[in-house]
Structure formats: C-alpha cells, structure tokens
Amino acid sequence: MSATAFTKRADAALADPILKVAIERTASTAETKRGIAVKGFAHFEEARTRAAAIKDHVVEHLGFYLEQFEAAATAAGAQVHWARTADEACSIVIDICKAAGAKTVARSKSMMGEEIGLPHALAEAGIGRIETDLAEHIIQLADERPSHIVWPAMHKTSEQVSALFKQHHLEPHAEETIPAMAESARRHLRDGMLAADVGISGANFLVAESGAVCTVTNEGNAELSLVPPRIHIVTAGIEKLVPSMGHAVQLLRLLARSATGATLTQYTTFYTGPKRAADADGPDVMHIVLIDNGRSAMRAEGLAEMLRCIRCGACMNHCVVFRQIGGHAYGGTYPGPMGAVLTPALDGLAKNRDLPNACTLNGKCQEVCPVKIPLPTLLRGWRERSWREGLEPVSVRQGITAWAWVAQRPRLYRAAVRAAIFGMRRFGRGWIRTLPMAGGWTAHRDLPAPAAESFMARYAKGER
Amino acid sequence: MSARDDILATLGTAAPPSGAADALLADPVRPAVAGDLVATFFTALELPASGATHDRIADLADLPRAVAAYLDGHGLARAVYLPPDPRLTANGAADWSGFTLSPAIAPNEPTVLAVARLGIAETGSLVFETGPSAPMLPNFLGLHHIVVLPVAAVVAHLEDAALPGEQPRAHYWVTGVSGTTDIEGQYIRGAHGPRFLHVILVGED
Amino acid sequence: MSPPGPSPRVALFVTCLVDLIRPQVGFAALRTLEAARCTVVVPSGQTCCGQPALNSGARDEAVAIAKRTIALLEGHDAVVVPSGSCAATIRVHYPELFEHDAAWRPRAQAIAAKTYEIMAYLDEVRGWRPDTALAATATYHDSCSGLRELGVKAQPRRLLRGVEGLMLKPLKGEETCCGFGGTFCVKYPAISNAIATEKADAIEASGADLLLSGDLGCLMNMAGKLHRDGSSVRAFHAIEVIAGMGDGPAIGEDA
C-alpha cells in the first residue's frame, strides 16, 4: 500500500528512539499509577457506569442544559457567547481582546484553544500570548503543537527544554537540572502572567445549575492568570455541561485517577461570573464562549458517546499504537484513540481515514475509559463510513469483495484454499521468509507455511 | 440565524424527565470515610503526593507562635502576608507583633496565610471562596502557604464542599502543593503555585 | 469429568486460519469436545465468519457472510470456535449487524447466545478437565478479542493447569495487544512490527519454552516474529496442548 501523510509521520516517529523513551516514560508511568489508583478505589466499575450515565443524560438534553447554563451564568454577571465553528469562536475572542485594547493574553492549558486555532488567531491579531502552563510554554517556544492532551510536551527531552529556555528566558537556569529549569520558567512567566490584560482558560466542566466554569490544574497557573487580568475569557466545548456540582464531583473523582493516578488535581476551581463588587480581587468581566465546532453534528451522526469524553488521556496511555508512534503522528489536535474518533469528525474523514484504520481494535482503550466510551465500535463506524464513501484503497476493496464473494461459495472456497496452500508451500515448508503480495507481513516476520491439506479436506477424508 | 439559534435548533431544548438528573446524584461511588474525620483528613494530607505538613493549636491566639515555629523551621524570616480576614487581623484576634506584615501581596511573596472554610477528609483538600476578606491571588503567589482551618470545619466528602446559596466568583479546592511533571515526567514541586503547604488546625476535639 | 445428561450436539466452526494454516488446532478442538462428551458436527459449508469484511467496514459483505454462517450453524445445541476473535464476531457482532433487521435479529441473537470460544466452553459449560501430560514450561498470551469481548481469561489457565507437568510462567504484559489486529498488521506493517517486537521481547524474557494463546492469528504474528529474530520459543494453540497434542510439531515446524 502506498505511503500516506499518516504513515510517513508514523515511520518518522518509529525511527526516533528518543521519542520512544519519552513515550514510555510518560504513558507507562501513567498506566502504572492509574492501575494503583483504580485498585484503591472500591467499586470503580460502578463509578464508571454512573459517570457514563451522567454524560449520556447531559448529551441527550444538551440544548436544555446549555440554556440553563447560559441563564445562570448571565445571572451571575458573565457574558455568554455562542460559536458554531472554530473561526467564529476565534473571532469572538479576538473581538473581545481588541475591544479591550488587550496587548497580551495569559493562557492556561486548553485543548479547545488548540482545536479552534486560537494561538494562530492571536498571532494574526498581533496580540501577545503568554502560555502559563509549563508544557504549553515549552511547545510555544518550540513552535510545535501538543503531542498529548495531558502532557503536551512529553516528546521533549530535558536537553531540548534546556536549550529552549537558554535561548528565550531572560535569566535562564544555571544548573542543568530539571528543578532549575522549572524555576527558570516560574521566574520567566510570573510577571507577564500577572500583567496580562486578558486571561483565557478552557473548561473541564460547565455547571448548568449555577453557571459555574470548572477548571482542574496542577500548577496553579490557571488561577494566577485568571485573577489579575481585567477580563476572563472561557472557551468551552458545548459537551462540557453537567447538571450540577454534585454531578461534576462524580466525574472529578474519575478524572485525575484516570489521567495521572492522583486522587484529584492540586487545584479544582469553580468560577461563577466575574468579581463581585466587594471582592478583594478578581476580573471585572467574564466572557464564556460556548463552542459547537462539530459537536451537535457528532451527536446527530452516531457519535454521541464520544461526547462523554472528559479528556483524561487514559485511552492513549494504554494504546499500543500510540505507545509506538506518539501524538504528533496523528496529525490533529487530539491523538490516540479519542483523537482517532474525533479527528475525522472535526477535520473530515477523507483526509484522516488512516486514523480509524491504524488500530488493532484490541479494546484496551474502552476498558480504561472512565466514561466507557465504546471507542472500537466508533472506530469501526468510521471504517464503515469510509467504505460506503469509497475512500478505501482500490486494492483493499477488491481484496475484501473478492474474499467475501468466495467465502459465500463453499466449493469455490475449498478450491481457493487448495490453490493458496499449493502456492504458499512453494515459498517454504515450515517457515516462509518471503511471499509475494505479503510483503507487509514478511518484511518483519516469518510466516508459518500451511500444512499439506486443509482441515476441511482432511476431515472430509475421514481424519478425526 | 444567530449561532445560538442554530445550535439550539439542532440540539432541541426539551427538558429531561423530572427527577432524572437527581437520580444520577443518588449514592455516589466514593471512598469510604468512616469515624474520625480529622484523622482521615491528616492521613490524606500526609500522603507523599500531597507534600503538605500540618500542625494543631487550641485557638487562634496560638497562631502567631505556630507560624513562627514553622518559619523558624524553614529558616525563613518572620514576614508574612495576612489576608484582610478579621479572624486574623482584628484587634485581639492574634498578636502579630514580631512579624513584618506585607501591606500588599508581592509576586514572589515568601509566606502567605489564609483561612480555609472547609477541609475535606476524603481527599485532604482545603476549600476556599473569594470574598471581601478573602483575596484569591495571594493563595497562589506565595512560596509557603500556611492555611488555618477550624477543626469543626473538616467534613467527609467532596459533595460536602459546596457553599449553599448564591455562588462566589471563585470556589476552589487546594489538594497538596503545586507541582508539575511536564519535563521528562520528573515531579517538581511549586511549578507556579506554592511549593509548601502547611495546614494549622485550630480547636479542641 | 463432564456434566451428566444427554450429549450436546455441537457445531465446530474451525475458522478460516485454522483450516488454511494449521488443521491440528481443529482436530485438537474435535478431540477435546468429544472427550467432554459432546457429539461434534463439522458443518461442511463453513468458510469464514466475515471478520475481515466486518473490520474493514464492508458492512454489506459482512451481513451476507453472517447470514450464510447463521443459517449454517443454527440447529445445533452449541457452536464452538477455537478462536476468541471469531467467536466474538458471532457472539457480539452478529447481533449488532442485525440490530435493525426484524427477520434476522432473533436468529443472530439465538446463535450468539450459544456460541462459545472453545476453552470457555470446555471449562465453564462442560466442566471438563484434560487428562494429559506435557513436561514443559509455557507462557500464555491473552488474545484481545477473547479477553475483552468474551471474558476469556481464567478458563485457559484452569485447563492448562490440568496438564500434568506443564508449568505456566507469567508473561509481562500478558493482556497487551500483540499487534496482529487482523488486516492491521498488513495495512500498517511498520507499526505492527514495533508492537510485535515488544511482545516478542516479553515472551523471551518469560523464560518459557512454549508460547500459548487462543487465537491462531495472534500466534502466527508472535511466532513469526520470534522465529525471524532467532528465538527458540515454540508456539502452539493452547487447545493443542490441552488435547494432548503438545508433543507434535509447533507452529512453523510442519514439514
């Protein structure tokens, strides 16, 4: 099969031993820690079932909860905006920044911001962007995209980080140690973070009942960048709704455990509107941008279960394909199994048909998903659509169609089996090292040669 | 058609059946928290992942002494930021003579005091809200975060954290010290937020 | 030891890979089922369960094959399959294929309800234990479909523990996919190879003489990789060892 953009990226990733070390360090540690956390959490399975039910309930009544959220957030003093597309969302954010005369924005980590292309939009508008999350800061300096939804800079070595900091920080680290580098980032980002005109965050949850926006972080950077600025802007996918804080709590119990093995992240914050008149600090203005960008279409087109996703990253940490090729090979905002389902929805199937296909359907992702998303089923669904739309390579279509035709005709099938045995045994007895048309297999492994006669032939002759 | 109209038209806005959302709140799966809430809270605080230390005093009058002991233990000057909380700053509340009190929070404030409204035994979390006497920024700027918590304010579960009634600008839970594993997976304390968290429980059993 | 009562009439669906590459797996299945007091029928029109079409998204083709297969296999007390992935195709995916087909849905559900992976059938339904011996060390890989779609985990190990002299050694990452994935391994060979390399390393590190598993596709992938890398680990389908055929030629050793 001819190379595609995906296979070229995957090949490059497979040839990179440093990347492999980085992937193993991150994903394998996450796997181990999650395992410990799950073992220590009695009735984890029931918690998953409940979490899935909460998200399904919300997705089924998404319009209702969005309206409820909008009313509550507005009553608390926030301004709620709606965006159908990534461009609309960026325009809203840029317009708010421009109207405020903002020169710099401080961003805390948000995959939604990546998804809508906010960094690029800010750059085009000439607005300075301070990434306050350490990993996002690193990839901003490197001018790269995140390679993991929880550890965006997992692909970077400490040497690469050190070089970036030495190039860009005013007072970089003196010692070549990771604590020294982190200290350099803490120094470098502090003043800019505190002086930004606008703070932009994502949302882990939107609480319909109260109009609260919930963020979870480990560094404290979100809070630092959302208190001092005059304006707080939230960019959030519409599927982030939960009915009440009690529902959010049940999902929060699973989120950090699934992502990093922690009980909770260090900071869990619920923002309800801007500062109150008598508050000691806080932004004067809060804008919440509710973003569709394909989500309502996903719900209508058989992908409702994907909208349960709470962005924990467990699926990719446990995916044998992700573990070999890393995040950038997927070519989109989201990698791993959840990325393989989302990217065709967000960016078109034709361009991304490799993603649902480059999967063994082993089901580990579904097993570890805290909200029980049937990822293999959704990936198979994309394969079906790809087939229906004629996107599969001609050789594959012809092969499968021929196979299926023969498989419905036993006498023909038996003859084909006899021919295949005869043909294959000419290339080896016992083990076959090379076989025409099976280069994909024999390039890397030997193939057991068939026995002289098939089971059905021998059985028909009376062997028992 | 506005974006709002478009999106809601696609999704529909019918309400869920009455009681459906509430049914999903019943009997949440959560770790059991039995018996002594304070002991459970301390156990959670003492987990390596938390990075916190703790102390216990009988009443707020003892607070300056306990803070002094903490600072001395870390070789730090007796200089702290106090939020404008009358429980800490009112006449007769506690005697801060011998301390330099920061008039305003500095970007690299060494030590910040705060009063938490609740402690959650299930997770070792501290619960705060913003208000006139409770600025939020200092709690994230200080290198050392010393949090005062009344012993009666330790509750069992995360479900008990919520402030009833009208919500403040921010309601937040602090669970351990700030940290990151963003560079080669190595754990660093105090990424942006506090590197040290010291909880002083106030009150008798 | 098997439950008393009339002998169930069992249809053996050997699978296309067993039929083409390694018939002794089919005979091992036959012999163990008969030892477990089943009356075994091998429907002569059997070909393939349709998994390649199903996993390629060729739904119409998968439906056509499924209909044929259902018609072929219904009318028996049970359908037994020496493959977790093929058994799962019938048991889990056939009902999904016919979810909206009023005529075929009950037939698909009926066949699904009585289709079993062979080791699960022998252990749980028949309550049977092998009566054989093999002095060897073996390590067991849990094939993904059998494990996650059918819950095949303890049953093979219980049966293998009944083989006198066989010592099971743990496989690190025994539940980690081997990288076969049906058409995946030929569509994305470089990625598949990287996955298979790690699996082969883990198998070597187990120190076992033999690799056992319940799916021939996985076994061909792992054994093929092991052999290419010069390993001396030999591979069998677990049912062969359970049937007392573990002293025969391993995968790739047929003349």
Task: List per-residue pLDDT tens for chain B, 205 residues long.
Answer: 899 999 999 999 999 999 999 999 999 999 999 889 999 999 999 998 899 999 999 999 999 999 999 999 999 999 999 999 999 988 888 999 999 999 999 999 999 999 999 999 999 999 999 999 999 999 999 999 999 999 999 999 999 999 999 999 999 999 999 999 999 999 999 989 999 999 999 998 7
Evaluate whether C154 touches C122 at the Cβ level (below 8 Å). Answer: no
A282 dihedral zone (left: phi>0; alpha: psi -120 to 50; beta): left
pLDDT at B1: 86
Query: Closest to C184 (Cβ–Cβ): which among A7, A359, A454?
Result: A359
Across residues C126-143, what is the average pLDDT?
97
Q: Distances from the Cα of C4 to the Cαs of A320, B141, C52, in angstroms?
A: 45, 75, 39
* Closest A-chain CA to C52: A400
Evaluate whether A210 touches A247 at the Cβ level (below 8 Å). Answer: no
- Chain A hits for C193, CB-CB cut-off 8 Å, are 443-445
Q: What number of H helices and E strands is found in chain A?
A: 25, 12
Query: Closest to A50 (Cβ–Cβ): which among B24, B133, B182?
Result: B24
Query: Closest to B180 (Cβ–Cβ): which among A57, A219, A223?
Result: A219
pLDDT one-digit tens code per residue, C5-43: 789 999 999 999 999 999 999 999 999 999 999 999 999
Rounded-to-integer distance, Cα A178 and Cα A167, Å? 16
Which DSSP letter does residue B14 get?
P
Q: How many residues does chain C have?
A: 255
What is the DSSP annotation of B126-188? Answer: EEEE-BTTB-STHHHH-SEEEEEEEGGGEESSGGG-PPPSS--SEEEEE-S--EE-TTTT--E
Interface of C with A in 60-79 (CB under 8 A): 61-62, 64-65, 68
- Three-point CA angle C11, C13, C15, nearest 5°: 175
Select A47-296's CATH number: 3.40.50.300, 2.60.120.200, 3.40.50.10420, 3.40.50.2020. 3.40.50.10420
Rounded-to-integer distance, Cα B41 and Cα B119, Å? 7
pLDDT grade for C2, boundaries at 50, 70 and 90 = low
pLDDT at B93: 82
pLDDT grade for C255, boundaries at 50, 70 and 90 = low
Rounded-to-integer distance, Cα C19 and Cα C16, Å? 5
Half-sphere exposure of B49 (CA within 13 A, CB side): 20
In chain C, CATH 3.40.50.11810 sits at 131-242
Which DSSP letter does residue A323 get?
H
Residue A188: is its pLDDT beyond 90? yes
Interface of C with A in 29-48 (CB under 8 A): 30-31, 42, 44-48
Number of residue pairs across A and B with CB atoms under 8 Å?
A: 250
Among B155, B86, B63, B158, smallest CA distance to B118 is for B155
Instruction: Give the number of other Cβ atoms within 10 Å of residue B2's Cβ.
Output: 9
pLDDT at C3: 66
Those residues with Cβ within 8 angstroms of residue A108's Cβ, 6 or more apart along the chain or in another chain: A132, A133, A199, A200, A201, A202, A215, A217, A221, A222, A225, A226
A344 dihedral zone (left: phi>0; alpha: psi -120 to 50; beta): alpha
Across residues C173-194, what is the average pLDDT?
96
Residue A236: strand, helix, or coil: strand
Evaluate whether A220 touches B180 at the Cβ level (below 8 Å). Answer: no
Rounded-to-integer distance, Cα A409 and Cα A416, Å? 10
* Closest B-chain CA to A242: B21
Phi, psi of B118 (to 5 degrees): -140, 160
Chain A interface includes C146 (CB < 8 A): no
Among B119, B55, B116, B114, smallest CA distance to B80 is for B114
pLDDT at A1: 60
Rounded-to-integer distance, Cα A199 and Cα C140, Å? 54
Chain A interface includes C253 (CB < 8 A): yes
Those residues with Cβ within 8 angstroms of residue B62's Cβ, 6 or more apart along the chain or in another chain: B202
In chain A, CATH 3.40.50.10420 sits at 47-296
pTM: 0.97
Among A337, A410, A412, smallest CA distance to A378 is for A337
Across residues C68-86, what is the average pLDDT?
97
Phi, psi of A331 (to 5 degrees): 80, 5
Residue C1: is its pLDDT beyond 60? no
Among C118, C128, C131, C155, smallest CA distance to C4 is for C128
Query: Closest to A270 (Cβ–Cβ): which among B24, B171, B194?
Result: B171
- Chain A hits for C24, CB-CB cut-off 8 Å, are 451
Burial class for C54, CB neighbours closer than 10 Å (0-12, 13-18, 19+): buried
pLDDT one-digit tens code per residue, A246-288: 999 999 999 999 999 999 999 999 999 999 999 999 999 999 9
According to CATH, the topology of domain C9-123 is: Rossmann fold (3.40.50)
pLDDT one-digit tens code per residue, A110-163: 999 999 999 999 999 999 999 999 999 999 999 999 999 999 999 999 999 999
Measure A98 CA to nearest chain B CA, in Å: 21
Determine how β-strand B125-129 pairs with β-strand B118-120.
antiparallel
**What kind of architecture, by CATH, is found in domain C131-242?**
3-Layer(aba) Sandwich (3.40)
Among A58, A52, A48, A89, smallest CA distance to A299 is for A58
**What is the enclosing helix (H) or strand (E) of C59?**
helix C59-73
- Chain C hits for A387, CB-CB cut-off 8 Å, are 56-59
Chain A interface includes C167 (CB < 8 A): no
Q: Chain A interface, mutation test: which of B157, B180, B187, B195, most A Cβ atoms within 10 Å?
A: B180
pLDDT grade for A436, boundaries at 50, 70 and 90 = confident
